[in-house]
Amino acid sequence: MMNSLWIAQTGMTAQQTQLDVVSHNLANLSTTGFKRNRAEFQDLIYQNLRQVGGQSSESTQLPTGMHLGLGVNAGAISREFRQGTLQSTTNTFDLAIDGDGFFQIQMPDGNTAYTRDGSFSIDGTGQLISSTGYPLVGGITKAPGAVSATVGREGVVIFLDKANTPVGNGKLDLAAFINPAGLQPVGNNLFRESPASGAPQTGDVSTGGAFGEIKQGFLENSNVNVVSELVNMIQTQRAYEMNSKAIQTSDQMLAKLAQL
């Protein structure tokens, strides 16, 4: 059987994976704080038909070998944590991080999740919650009589009454990771810590590190570039067609061989 049939099939499978990734990026173009995904590919094991550097005579060696590649495989789908643009809003509790930090979300199972989505609001009990209804770590609650709030660059939340007198406060500490690309995505704009990400470090911009500062009245847009994704989509389509053509050509060659 011709190896080209299998090799081209792996190429088509790889391009299907690439299209899945591109489609996911485009689908989340308007998702707050979304980070672009990127498929990474690896060539498969080689058939060693002639060893490089092998003896061609008693006193000479081969300058090259003969290694037949067997196709491609999707090795990983990584995430680019490049900063997205900040968009101004009119919501008091729309918060964006200008830096590398993450908001900390308290999950129902007691664990902590992490997000770049700062679209927060106040629930019926006055507690500050995420768009999915989960409270922030630390439990910030609106003070009785408060009609407005300010959030400082370091995450200090101050509730004010009608006379602009402080009536309560809270603190949002951010989390940072040595390898944010190693975080495990769980949906709803949330990530969980993993061995690859390392343990979180918590703090704010005043303590140094990669936490970043908080911007009140802003949200972070997705970092997906539409033009780049459309170019990738076209390249993926062309590569898929070429691999399909390779299978058709191999099939035609086998048909010719069967006629002999």
Per-residue pLDDT at 15: 95
Q: What percent of the chain has pLDDT over 90?
A: 72
Residue 185 has pLDDT above 70, yes or no: yes
Closest among 128, 97, 106 to 192, alpha carbons compared: 106
Secondary structure letter of residue 18 according to DSSP: H
Average pLDDT over residues 79-89: 94
What is d(CA 107, CA 190) in angstroms, rounded to the nearest whole number? 10
Which structure tokens are listed for 124?
Answer: 């019926």
Confidence of residue 138 (pLDDT cuts 50, 70, 90): confident
Q: What is d(CA 189, CA 216) in angstroms, rounded to the nearest whole number?
A: 19
Helix pair angle (226-258, 3-27), 10° resolution:
160
The torsion angles phi and psi of 106, rounded to 5 degrees, stand at -85, 115
Q: How far apart are CA 204 and CA 215, in angstroms?
A: 13
The pLDDT of residue 237 is 96
Q: Report the candidate in 5, 3, 1, 2 with the shortest Cα–Cα distance to residue 244.
A: 5
Q: Which structure tokens are listed for 180?
A: 């944010």
Q: Mean pLDDT lowest for which of 17-21, 51-55, 235-239?
A: 51-55
- Residue 1 above 60 pLDDT? no
For residue 92, with 0-12 CB atoms within 10 Å meaning exposed, 13-18 middle and 19 or more buried, which class applies? middle
- pLDDT over 90 (residue 107): yes
- Residue 232 and residue 119: Cα distance in Å, rounded? 30
The amino acid at residue 253 is: M
Residues 6+ apart with CB under 8 A from 214: 95, 96, 97, 98, 118, 151, 152, 153, 154, 155, 172, 174, 204, 205
Q: What is the mean pLDDT of residues 107-132?
A: 93
HEC-encoded secondary structure of 186-200: EECCEEECCCCCCCC
Q: If you average pLDDT over residues 239-251, what whole number do you get?
A: 92
User: What's the pLDDT at 35?
Assistant: 95
Mean pLDDT of the chain: 91
Q: Would you kindly state where each structural domain of the chain is located, as residue ranges?
A: 3-81+224-258, 86-220
State the average pLDDT over residues 109-138: 93
- Identify the band that residue 260 occupies on the pLDDT scale cut at 50, 70 and 90: confident
**Residue-level pLDDT at 67:** 80
**Residue 62 pLDDT > 80, yes or no?**
no
* Section 132-153 average pLDDT: 91
Average pLDDT of the residues in 126-136: 92
Give the integer Cα–Cα distance in Å for 72 and 94: 44
Higher pLDDT, 135 or 251: 135
Q: Region 63-73: what's the mean pLDDT?
A: 84
Tell me the three state secondary structure of residue 80.
coil
pLDDT score recorded for residue 39: 95
Give mean pLDDT, residues 222-251: 94
